Structure 1
Amino acid sequence: MTLPAAVTDRLDRQMAFLTEADKLKSVLRHNVLMDLSRAENVAEHSWHVALWAIVLAPDMPAGCDLARAIAMLLIHDIVEIDAGDHSVAVAYDPDEIAAKEQAAAARLFPLLPPDQAKMVDSLWREFEAIQTPTAVYAKRIDHMQPILQVFLAPSWHNGHPEIAGHTLTQGRAKRMAQDWPELDRIARSLMRGETPPDSDLMRRLRFLAEADRLKSVTRATRVLSGARHENSAEHSWHVALYALLLGEHAKRPVRTDRVVQMLILHDLVEIDAGDAPVFGTSDAAATQDAEQAAADRLFGLLPPAEGTRLRALWQEFEDNQSADANFAKSLDRFNPPNLNIAAGGGSWVDYRVDRARFDSAVGAKIEAGAPILWQWIAPRAHAMIDRLQAEQA
């Protein structure tokens, strides 16, 4: 069945933006991972702050729209694809940076269909203006997360505690003592090398610190350039962004906000269980047992009510019975082929994938929740797989 031209054109534009967004995985930040192993990139930072928004939702200001705050945090740094990241530790001209980011927005957002370009632009501008309760919540998280990424780490990178401390006490996060006093007290206590008293907020922060480890879980799929394998945190950001923009293509009506949250959470268990490549040879039953044990441990770090709620959302994704889970699973299968095609084959080369394996392991899942997406990707994927097989023959 051939898709109508209008549907194809719309999907072409949506995918042009989502493909371009992959470049955010190659924009480095001044922050480092909590194990100090490497610099963090902007895509995995964007995933982490979106997770922060979900987990810290009990402390949202009145009038905050959680779904919109998460959407803001998923897209807030997209402009850094062109404009680059600007550390608080380095002096810069704010007007010059603003101009660069405006130019980036003017190039990137119009890649989308006009209605979605307007929606993403509105989210980004609201976040930058910090005038609504939703934007205030998102900005507070964006300001505090890097600080606590330093102070919650087992050891501190040379020079980073001084930068984080200055940001907290004199820089852009200095209003936290007034705006979010409990979080500010915890941050200052950690800065002094103290152990803060146990509390629900401290439990949430420990969970969020543990989540940092997802940035070190390597996947079979490569980033768009093919230069390296992606990690599960930046994958989770990218597929959540897919959900934000592609919900209209679900087989059944879905709640986009729930699908986005599922996909932000869906791979957390890989911190303990590791990634199981679709075309790999891992034991499915053993993987499932390992992931359930990981879910017990990780969601058990949270206060009971919140841990139960987020564990249930993760389990809904795993069970794949609801419309939201069906679509989330489809997107989780739909994202990697797009990267493999852009990278000239990617993991399909490594696993010598043929059409039959692809259609069974990937196509069936995509089609189950989003037949339109399958109709769009199938000819592109088949053409690439056929080419690869001819080259390998």
Structure 2
Amino acid sequence: MSDRIRAQFAFLLEADRLRGIERQNLILDCSRRENSAEHSWHLALYALVLAPFAAPEVEISRVIQMLLLHDLVEIDAGDHPISDDVDWGAVEQAEKAAAKRLFGLLPEDQGNALHTLWHEFEQAESADARFAKQLDHCQPIFQTLYGADPVPEHIEVVRGNLFGGRAAALKETFPQAYDHAVDLLGHARDRDVSELTIRLPFLNAAEALKTIVRATWLGDGSRAENSAEHSWHIMLYGWILGEYAVQPIDTTRVINMLLLHDIVEVDAGDTPIHGALSPEALAEQEALEQAAADRLFGLLPKSQDIEFRGLWDEFESAETADAVFAKSIDRVQPVLLNLLNGGGSWLDYDVSLAQLDSRVGVKVTRGAPAVWDHVRAEVTPWFEENGRA
């Protein structure tokens, strides 16, 4: 098992580099460019929220998995805006080589499965892949058109994309999205798009998770991570490491919990695990998060409000097998990032190995003891070398 789990973590830590790939799109507040990791998280949320628009044969869990993976090749091949004049044949070859390298880091069975899923998305021939592609075309359009202060050139890119570009196909494949985008550009349409527009306030509000800065730094130490890209990375962790759950789990439910688990931080902010909070402060933070859940999930139609809030509550309670494992995996990723970046929040909060065991190890062991055995063995030398064992 040791070789297998080492290969899995090699892939997960390499995936961290997707956060360094900047896209042309700005985030909604227009303060900076979006990166490909947080874009992938937002697309997965689009898939969950806009599932009612998928064809009956579409399996949303596979769509979400495709969207978690679809841009990983940009780690090697880079991002290429549709408006750029590039050699798309060369890009295709670079992406194929990247997929072979990246998925080749995994154990053979998982690597083959993920590579096949990525290829299915690229081919866009299955119902799942076609819907995933539709969402990948929609999200940048709405992110631009709903932006606080969009760049005029980006508006023109959207216009060209809708009228003659790749998004023109949405007119037939996702007409509600096409008509609403055209409406936002000032070209009135008479189609009723209310089933779409009642869901966009939630997707737009949740997008602010990209601005919530966490205590953990990226593996390269260049900056602190944000909660949206953290959620994307944790979803990969939950998927890849699901076999180590101490009880049988539903991987789809685990991934969906991790997709939603930090959304309340849009209102309530992040609470560092190594930050010392009094019982009174913890109770106040819990009240803030409950109020945030009320507001944010309440932006959705009632059926989705109930469904998504139920998943979030289940995660918070950590009593079911799915939630116990999801909570465990949520604790693992920051540990590995701290090891990569030379200590990170362990240095900031003066953390000892004993404190890591009590604050993190106990929680991870509850849901995935084999994962903690591996992680603890990896980090112990750092604590010994830095006099914190």
Q: TM-score, normalised by structure 1?
A: 0.95
1:277 corresponds to: 272
**107-116 or 160-169, larger mean C-alpha shift:** 160-169
2:374 corresponds to: 376
**Structure 2: any 5+ residue segments left out of the alignment?**
none
Q: Would you say 1:129 and 2:126 are equivalent positions? A: no
Any idea what SS the aligned residue of 1:225 has? coil
1:286 Cα shift? 1.0
Any idea what SS the aligned residue of 1:360 has? helix
Q: Would you say 1:326 and 2:324 are equivalent positions? A: yes
Q: Would you say 1:254 and 2:252 are equivalent positions? A: no
Residue from 377, 386, 389 that aligns with 1:388: 386
Q: Would you say 1:230 and 2:225 are equivalent positions? A: yes
Q: Distance in 2 between matches of 1:12 and 1:373?
A: 10
Q: Judge conservation of contact 1:29–1:85 (CA < 8 Å) in 2.
A: yes
2:300 corresponds to: 302
Q: Judge conservation of contact 1:353–1:385 (CA < 8 Å) in 2.
A: no
Q: Would you say 1:287 and 2:282 are equivalent positions? A: no
Residue from 167, 174, 179 that aligns with 1:180: 174
Q: Would you say 1:27 and 2:25 are equivalent positions? A: no
Query: Aligned AA for 2:289?
Result: E
Q: CA RMSD in A?
A: 1.5
Q: Would you say 1:86 and 2:84 are equivalent positions? A: no
Count of residue pairs brought into register by the alignment: 385
Summarize the alignment of residues 209-248 of structure 1 with structure 2, pairs less than 5 Å apart: 209-248=204-243
**Structure 1: any 5+ residue segments left out of the alignment?**
1-6
1:203 Cα shift? 1.7
Structure 1 320/194 Cα, relative in aligned 2: closer, same or farther at 3 Å?
farther
Summarize the alignment of residues 336-375 of structure 1 with structure 2, pairs less than 5 Å apart: 336-375=334-373
2:184 corresponds to: 190
**163-172 or 293-302, larger mean C-alpha shift:** 163-172
Any idea what SS the aligned residue of 2:55 has? coil
1:108 Cα shift? 0.9
1:158 Cα shift? 3.1
Any idea what SS the aligned residue of 1:30 has? strand
Any idea what SS the aligned residue of 1:389 has? coil
1:4 corresponds to: none
- What is the percentage of aligned positions where both structures have the same residue? 46
1:146 Cα shift? 0.2
1:159 Cα shift? 1.1
Q: Judge conservation of contact 2:30–2:148 (CA < 8 Å) in 1.
A: no
Q: Distance in 1 between matches of 2:15 and 2:329?
A: 16
Q: TM-score, normalised by structure 2?
A: 0.96
2:333 corresponds to: 335
Residue from 143, 148, 167 that aligns with 1:149: 143
Residue from 90, 93, 96 that aligns with 1:102: 96
1:120 Cα shift? 0.7
1:53 corresponds to: 47
Q: Judge conservation of contact 2:51–2:60 (CA < 8 Å) in 1.
A: yes
Q: Would you say 1:266 and 2:261 are equivalent positions? A: yes
Q: Distance in 1 between matches of 2:176 and 2:92?
A: 32
1:385 Cα shift? 2.2
Q: Distance in 1 between matches of 2:369 and 2:218?
A: 25
Q: Distance in 1 between matches of 2:320 and 2:90?
A: 47
Q: Distance in 2 between matches of 1:388 and 1:55?
A: 46
Q: Judge conservation of contact 2:180–2:193 (CA < 8 Å) in 1.
A: no
1:66-92 C-alpha deviation (Å, 9 max, x unpaired) = 111100000000000000000012111
Q: Judge conservation of contact 1:326–1:368 (CA < 8 Å) in 2.
A: yes
1:142-174 C-alpha deviation (Å, 9 max, x unpaired) = 011100101122332231111011112211110
Any idea what SS the aligned residue of 1:111 has? coil
Any idea what SS the aligned residue of 2:129 has? helix
Q: Distance in 2 between matches of 1:229 and 1:266?
A: 19
Q: Distance in 1 between matches of 2:289 and 2:346?
A: 25
Q: Distance in 1 between matches of 2:145 and 2:208?
A: 15
Structure 1 221/72 Cα, relative in aligned 2: closer, same or farther at 3 Å?
same
**191-200 or 118-127, larger mean C-alpha shift:** 191-200
Q: Would you say 1:139 and 2:137 are equivalent positions? A: no
Residue from 201, 204, 213 that aligns with 2:199: 204
Q: Distance in 2 between matches of 1:266 and 1:142?
A: 22
